Chains A and B, each alone.
Chain A
Amino acid sequence: MGSTQVITATTNRGAGVMPASRRRPPRLRGSWLAALLFIAPTLVLLFVLRVIPTIEGIISSFQKSVSALAPPSWAGLNNYVALFENGDFLKVLGITGIFIVLIVPFQIVVAIFVALLLNETFRGRGIVRAFIFLPVAAPAAVATVIWGIAFQPQGPINAVLESVGIPGQPFLTSPSQALISIIILMSWIGIGYWTLFLIAGLQDIPGELYEAAALDGAGWWRCFWSVTLPNLRRTLAFVIVADTVSSLIAFVPVAILTRGGPAGSTRLIMFDVYNNTFVLGDVHLGSAEVTVLIAILVTITAIQFRLLGKEK
């Protein structure tokens, strides 16, 4: 789970605030140079780590390599045409779409449930919280490898299923179950992460609202729909978008466990980019795919900013 996209959570109010410009005493002028020196390293990194690769990816997507030694030549839209004419990429987009439509609502609903529970007081709350957050902190590769062993046909999950009379399942070896298995694995990591933000959102709802609801005689369920959920809107909007973005770039379980299979059933877009570029060796086709991916991500971010803008 990348963490850079998390920022969105909270930019809505912050972005509009211009600090320190209101009551500026005359003595504090001429700070441009100081500010620039403080920000310069971050700006250089931004340029190197975001601007250059994005431009490089876009340029490369309009090129082709004739031989490994010759510099690439222009190919116009050929890479994009190849991408969309070949049914494989549409299939990749379809699978990625299904994956997101399944994983995001599942993670968010469970995370709301867990956040509500963890927001209550009970004995051992600290330990339960630690249990739920620990999968977030361990590397995704650890979760992947462990679940990969657990999902084996002769693994512990099937052992438990069979001990209660349910037949063993093929999990990652079956085209119909592999994607669901990956969703379970990634939710084990993701739910704890989104819970963290939802707990913060819950604690942010002013107590007076609940006092007012109590005076009106509202029960828990009524209170949840009329006070909690509406006031959690901002946090929820962020969590849904951030979850969508991080699910779009899901890579580790596919790369380690299924390599897109069986029968292409787990061919998510990020793995397909990797596969086209490094396994099949077509850098330019991979770049066209990266460009499509960036376009999707930028669109999601823009929609999010409009949503958040409307709320103010």
Chain B
Amino acid sequence: MALPNRIGSTRPRRAIVAVAAWISGILFALPLLWMLSSSFRESGDIFTSQYPFSPFILWPRTFSFDNYLTVLNGPFGLAAFNSIFVTAVSVLVGLLLSSMAAFALAKIPFRGAGVLFVIIVLSFLVPFDAIAVPLANQFRDWGLTNSYAGLIIPGIANGLAVFALRQFFLGIPSELAEAARVDGLSWWGIFWKIYLPLSRPALIGAGFTLFLFQWGAYLWPLLVGTNSSVMLGPIALTTLATAQKVDFGGIFAGAVILSLVPLILLLIFQRHFTASIAATGSKG
């Protein structure tokens, strides 16, 4: 018997649910589909098929990869590479540091673990962007402006990652650590050889959190990384949009490139990702 929390309790109601869900999904997808189709258009087509209304609004009259070639050969190409590099390093280092902290807070018994955990979580509750402006002045004094290090450092410390990983470690029986400890394994060994391999789903979830923060960052790279050698994708994209002669084809192609990386990750990890969000949300 269908429970009363199911909207789709009868056949016609199930059909309505499916139609409503698909309509909302398509509404969300429309801007992306429009962006994708526009990225293949030739420059003349971009304007003629977007206004006034024509059946070609979502389908290019002619297909060409010119926009991609042009934009990747310009400054945007280097910026896209920079974004991938900076984000990859941030995710890897960030995962290592957050899981280390999370492990100690969850599994190493020491006085004050609870207080320390609250301090860490509360401090990172202040959103980074709010203190980005005074921090940028500091980074300038420390000579970190326009360097990869300056761009990466804010992305490797993430309270949510620490929190989610700690929750996950808490769920793994402590007997494992205690037994290994008795057998003479060091804390590092317990962390590296026992707990980390068991934590794949949590690591994927935390990795995604770190990824989203760094891949989408805009204010911080605008403050410390506007030199073309370290410029990141989002900044380069807006440079295209505010240039003297706006290259709309290039903007669309660049936007697709910057969306493609998260899309691929989302497709590979979607199952793990939603599962881990669910875990974070419920086991808190």
Query: Which residues from chain A sit less than 8 Å from chain B, CB to CB?
Result: 1-21, 23-25, 27-28, 31-32, 34-35, 38-39, 41-43, 45-46, 48-54, 56-57, 60, 113-114, 116-118, 120-150, 154-156, 158-160, 162-163, 188, 191-192, 196-197, 199-201, 203-205, 207, 210-211, 213-214, 218-220, 222-224, 227-228, 235, 245-246, 249, 251-252, 255-256, 270, 273-274, 277-278, 283, 286-287, 290, 293-294, 297-298, 301
| Contacting pair B134 A53 (CB below 8 A) | yes
Ordered by A's residue number, 18 sampled pairs between the chains whose C-beta atoms are within 8 Å are A3-B160, A4-B125, A15-B121, A24-B109, A41-B97, A46-B157, A50-B124, A118-B21, A120-B21, A136-B212, A137-B212, A142-B237, A145-B237, A213-B4, A220-B4, A220-B9, A256-B241, A294-B130
Given contacts A4-B124, A133-B266, A255-B219, 18 further A-B contacts (CB under 8 A): A3-B212, A11-B118, A16-B114, A17-B114, A27-B178, A27-B181, A39-B101, A41-B100, A52-B135, A129-B274, A137-B263, A139-B233, A140-B216, A141-B234, A188-B28, A199-B278, A223-B5, A252-B219
B251 shortest CB reach to chain A, Å: 6
Among all A-B residue pairs, the 8 with the closest Cβ atoms: A10-B284, A137-B262, A141-B234, A128-B25, A38-B104, A200-B281, A45-B157, A57-B134
Tell me the nearest residue of chain A to B22, going by C-beta: A128
| Contacting pair A294 B34 (CB below 8 A) | no
| Contacting pair A14 B219 (CB below 8 A) | no
Mask, B86-122, CB within 8 Å of A = 1, is: 0000000000011011011111111101101111111
A255 CA / B257 CA spacing, docked (Å)? 22
- Whether, in the assembled complex, B18 has its beta carbon less than 8 Å from a beta carbon of chain A, the answer is yes
Chain A residues contacting B212 (CB-CB under 8 Å) are 1, 3, 136-137
One of A41, A141, A227 near B101 (C-beta < 8 A): A41
A153 shortest CB reach to chain B, Å: 9
- Whether, in the assembled complex, B166 has its beta carbon less than 8 Å from a beta carbon of chain A, the answer is yes
B270 shortest CB reach to chain A, Å: 7
| Contacting pair A19 B138 (CB below 8 A) | no
Chain B residues contacting A188 (CB-CB under 8 Å) are 28, 31
Chain B residues contacting A7 (CB-CB under 8 Å) are 121, 124-125, 159-160, 163
| Contacting pair B129 A2 (CB below 8 A) | yes
Report the interface size class on chain B: 35 or more
A292 CA / B159 CA spacing, docked (Å)? 23
| Contacting pair A155 B134 (CB below 8 A) | no
| Contacting pair B28 A132 (CB below 8 A) | yes
One of A35, A207, A218, A274 near B113 (C-beta < 8 A): A35
| Contacting pair B262 A146 (CB below 8 A) | no
- Whether, in the assembled complex, B265 has its beta carbon less than 8 Å from a beta carbon of chain A, the answer is yes
Among the interface residues B31, B103, B113, B117, which one has the most CB atoms of the partner chain A within 10 A? B31
A224-B5 in contact given A154-B51, A200-B278, A246-B127 (Cβ < 8 Å) = yes
| Contacting pair A56 B35 (CB below 8 A) | no
A246 CA / B213 CA spacing, docked (Å)? 13
| Contacting pair A53 B6 (CB below 8 A) | no
| Contacting pair B167 A10 (CB below 8 A) | yes
Chain B residues contacting A3 (CB-CB under 8 Å) are 158, 160, 209, 212-213
| Contacting pair A48 B153 (CB below 8 A) | yes
Chain A residues contacting B7 (CB-CB under 8 Å) are 116-117, 120, 220
A50-B25 in contact given A20-B113, A38-B191 (Cβ < 8 Å) = no
A245-B137 in contact given A7-B163, A38-B187, A149-B248 (Cβ < 8 Å) = no
Chain A residues contacting B262 (CB-CB under 8 Å) are 134, 137-138
A230 CA / B103 CA spacing, docked (Å)? 34
Among the interface residues A21, A43, A138, A162, which one has the most CB atoms of the partner chain B within 10 A? A138
| Contacting pair A286 B28 (CB below 8 A) | no
A51 CA / B18 CA spacing, docked (Å)? 49
One of A6, A50, A235 near B131 (C-beta < 8 A): A50
One of B8, B107, B109, B217 near A122 (C-beta < 8 A): B8
Chain B residues contacting A49 (CB-CB under 8 Å) are 128, 131, 135, 153-154, 157
A140 CA / B122 CA spacing, docked (Å)? 25
A242 CA / B71 CA spacing, docked (Å)? 36
Among the interface residues B6, B26, B52, B127, which one has the most CB atoms of the partner chain A within 10 A? B127
